[in-house]
Structure 1
Amino acid sequence: MRKINRLLFVYLVAICNVKAQEYKAVIQKARFLVEAHKTQTKLPGCQIAVMVKGKLVWSEGFGFSDLQNRTKVSTKTKFRIASVSKPVTAMALGKLIDQGKLDIHKDINTYLPSFPKKKFTITTKHLAFSTSGIRHYNSKDKEFNTKEYPTVLDALKRFEEDPLSFEPGTQFLYSSYGWVLLSAVMEKASRTSFFNLMQNTWDALGMKQTSFDFPHKEIDQKSRFYVHHKKLGRKLTPFENRSYMYAGGGYLSTAEDLVRMGDQLINSNFLNEETKQVLTQPYLLKDGTSTFYGMGWETGTNRLGTKVFFHSGSLPTSVAHLVIYPEEEVVLAYLSNTGDHVFFNDREAQTITELFAEEEGVAMNQAKDVVGSWNITTTSLNDKKTGGTLLLTLNTDGMLHGSISFKRSKKTITCPLIVTTLDTNELHAVAVSPMFIDFYLKFNNDEFMGKWLHDFNVKGITEKDAYWKAREITGKKILTDEND
């Protein structure tokens, strides 16, 4: 029996090594972007994991979970996942729907008669789709809560007497407090504590590193958390008690646990197909307008023209992203131990996801035609004509990268840059500023033309603000004796 187990272990290790080799070039590009961003934002530590077609192809920690003790981030380091807690809670909600224990169309007072009745009926569906009218945070809420709320019912006291912001179903208002109320409904409907309900869900999903962010409990391998400081760069955050916000933003997890969960949303029978559709279909308001928000999932069309389900979370102490491209079966999770002055947004997360969803992006036999230094002419965000330089080099592993210097608004910036795709004479490159900048260039001998932009489109909705429109860019190669 031991021999069989040993052979199985060797086989599994071999499979993992094959997968790692298969995605070596893609991982190299993704790592370049993550490390460049980390350096520019003085990020203490972060963690990333990617699954493709049910296989974990990349999992890595960067930097430190504890700056003072120089403790490195590992793949087991636990981070605050902020509002990515919502899709995690949605998995438990989906199971209750499958089991017939909760009817999302019923008045929540059916399950929770103690909650103060409002002017309009609120359903569980309204809560999960953020169309209930229950408020989000406001100026009355402290940035760092220190009060302990022992139960989810206790946490309702923060907002239960507040009036609704609108008639449920008529508007979209992202509301973490709506998810706190949802957790109380789930607790009553399941006839078990919300804490047990979620733990049972994590056990069933194999999320061994996921837990509540209990404020007064020693939690193994939990990262320390940091905020921005002008002189120090990063300093420890003040004490924070997340007990008022568990279902909507109070869990700890790892990138590996989150991609496993995301993969099971699209590739397992943990939930039935009908419930999966309910969770990931956007809500239509009373007037027929789409909210682009499902039950704990943002939804839309990605830059590849296919579906995307995603959710992000941002606190002063953390940034979290969970992205699913269901048709390509790619799941990505990104976590960091600060959210202050970070600028790692949905576009950055989806750009890295695209690397694993696209076909291999650079034809190396064409790379030699674009390698070198280029004088560029472009227009800044303030519509001022400006010049600069593009440098492209090819490393020994075949990665095409470099830097670009130009005036973006009022300041000249120099950004590290990676080429993600090169097809014939058309190139897509991503620069880190620390926000990502996309460059789409078409080469013709020793010249190129194209456009650059900060692409905030993560749902298939065109950017309306003209300030962020695409700017034209042209370039001419700087010839030397070597390439004359």
Structure 2
Amino acid sequence: MNSNRTFLWLTLLLLFFSSMFFAQGLERRIDSLILKEFNDPKGPGGVFTVTQKGKTLYQKAFGKANLELDVNLNPENVFQIGSMTKQFTAVAILMLEQQGKLNVNDPISKYIKDYPNGDKITIHHLLTHTSGIKDFTKMKSISTIAQKDMKPEMMVDFFKNEPVDFAPGEKFDYNNSGYVLLGYLIELVSGDTYENFIKNNIFDKAGMIHSYYATDRKIIPKRAYGYHKKEYGYVNKTAISFSVPFSSGSLMSTAEDMLKWQNALNKNILLNSQETKKAFQKYKLNNGEEFTYGYGWHLKDINGISTREHGGSIFGFKSMGVYIPSKDIYVIGFSNCDCHSPTEIIRNIAKLALENTKRN
């Protein structure tokens, strides 16, 4: 009897140390990936988090949140997330569809009467980057409005009369103008501002208390400051008006809040299962060719396992998130210098996290 107890005790002890060994091994391997790029402790850096089934597997910050004040980054810092904003815009549209206030197959002329070719371009085309509308970020005249306060209608007027790049549904071509149009539609249909709609219907419901519509004027607790890198060193980020990227790239958040966002989607707190499915399915072009984008997410894979991904880039900041539904693994990375991209690092960390699930 005593020998059985001893065997059981030794087995449990072995499992404990084995688990601890793999956890430490995972941490070292993730550290190694990150430090290849984020290797200046006196410069701006990044925050990285890995969770599985709600359990934190890894969470660290590297570098400085503010160079002038010599303040270190920590996992609670607030970053501008750039185009990861598109996830929130897409879900807001689906929330309005769920409420019966619009349909993703509606032509945009139903809401904006004078939009060129608006009877051929649908909300679906905007959501999937298949509208053919000119991307305003590729227009040379963008510099003339970059620091102006632009109402959504003014932003739409800025690009709406540009020649289209292709007929709606002919191609997938990543497009910021489409998501600005979606933000304008959210305002027209809801009767509220985009900022208020996102806060009241998404941030508040998901418990995202450290997420905001971006601002350089308001006091944002634990804000990470953004930087560029020049030959002679780091400089403060270029100032822009956040009314320009608007609903295509003007939100701020934390790693913890982004996990709350992911959990809210998983638990159908924001959308029912039918509407949620629309965000995460692949669609086809007019010729029947399937492309790898849903509504606000790239739909890819890592070693044959399906992922939902999106990155973001805005002056002074870069971001990347990868979610693996089958394993409930979420990997998120933020940088407060646009000289550092977390994109490949996050995908490689996700690969390590998948390997870790096979060992445990």
Could you state the TM-score of these two structures normalised by the residue count of structure 2?
A: 0.86
Q: Which amino acid aligns with 1:29?
A: R
Q: Which amino acid aligns with 1:259?
A: L
2:255 aligned residue: 255
CA distance in 2, matches of 1:165, 1:259: 36
CA contact (8 A) 2:42 2:63 kept: no
Please point out which of 349, 352, 359 is paired with 1:352: 349
1:146 aligned residue: 147
2:9 aligned residue: none
CA contact (8 A) 2:22 2:356 kept: no
User: Residues 174-213 of structure 1: matches in 2 within 5 Å?
Assistant: 174-200=174-200, 201-213=202-214
For 1:133-162, what per-residue CA distance to the aligned partner results, in whole angstroms no more than 9, with x for missing partners? 11212133229921112x322322321222
CA distance in 1, matches of 2:284, 2:45: 39
CA distance in 2, matches of 1:42, 1:166: 47
The answer for unaligned runs of 5 or more in structure 2 is 1-18
Q: Which amino acid aligns with 2:132?
A: G
Q: Which amino acid aligns with 2:307?
A: V
The answer for unaligned runs of 5 or more in structure 1 is 1-18, 364-484
Q: C-alpha displacement at 1:312, in angstroms? A: 0.8
Q: Which amino acid aligns with 2:300?
A: G
For 1:271-329, what per-residue CA distance to the aligned partner results, in whole angstroms no more than 9, with x for missing partners? 222212210112210001122111110012212x2111100112341110011100011
CA distance in 2, matches of 1:144, 1:42: 34
- SS state at 1:319 partner: strand
Q: Which has the higher contact order (CA 8 A, sep 6+)?
A: 2
Q: In 2 relative to 1, CA 288–160 (structure 1 residues): closer, same or farther, beyond 3 Å?
A: same
Q: Which amino acid aligns with 1:97?
A: E
The structure with the larger Rg is: 1
- SS state at 2:275 partner: helix
CA contact (8 A) 1:51 1:263 kept: no
2:61 aligned residue: 61
Q: Which amino acid aligns with 2:355?
A: E
CA contact (8 A) 1:83 1:312 kept: yes
CA distance in 1, matches of 2:146, 2:184: 20
CA distance in 1, matches of 2:48, 2:278: 28
1:171 aligned residue: 171
Q: In 2 relative to 1, CA 58–250 (structure 1 residues): closer, same or farther, beyond 3 Å?
A: same
2:333 aligned residue: 334
CA distance in 2, matches of 1:203, 1:58: 26
* Structure with a larger share of its residues in helix: 2
Identity of aligned residues (%): 25
Q: In 2 relative to 1, CA 42–311 (structure 1 residues): closer, same or farther, beyond 3 Å?
A: farther
For 1:18-40, what per-residue CA distance to the aligned partner results, in whole angstroms no more than 9, with x for missing partners? x9998443233212321332017
CA contact (8 A) 1:20 1:57 kept: no
1:218 aligned residue: 219
1:322 aligned residue: 321
- SS state at 2:311 partner: strand
2:30 aligned residue: 30
- Count of aligned pairs: 339
2:310 aligned residue: 311
Q: Which amino acid aligns with 2:330?
A: V
CA distance in 2, matches of 1:58, 1:102: 41
1:87 aligned residue: 87
Q: CA RMSD in A?
A: 2.5
For 1:47-85, what per-residue CA distance to the aligned partner results, in whole angstroms no more than 9, with x for missing partners? 112221133443332211111111111222111111111
Could you state the TM-score of these two structures normalised by the residue count of structure 1?
A: 0.65
CA distance in 2, matches of 1:109, 1:94: 18
Q: In 2 relative to 1, CA 358–188 (structure 1 residues): closer, same or farther, beyond 3 Å?
A: same
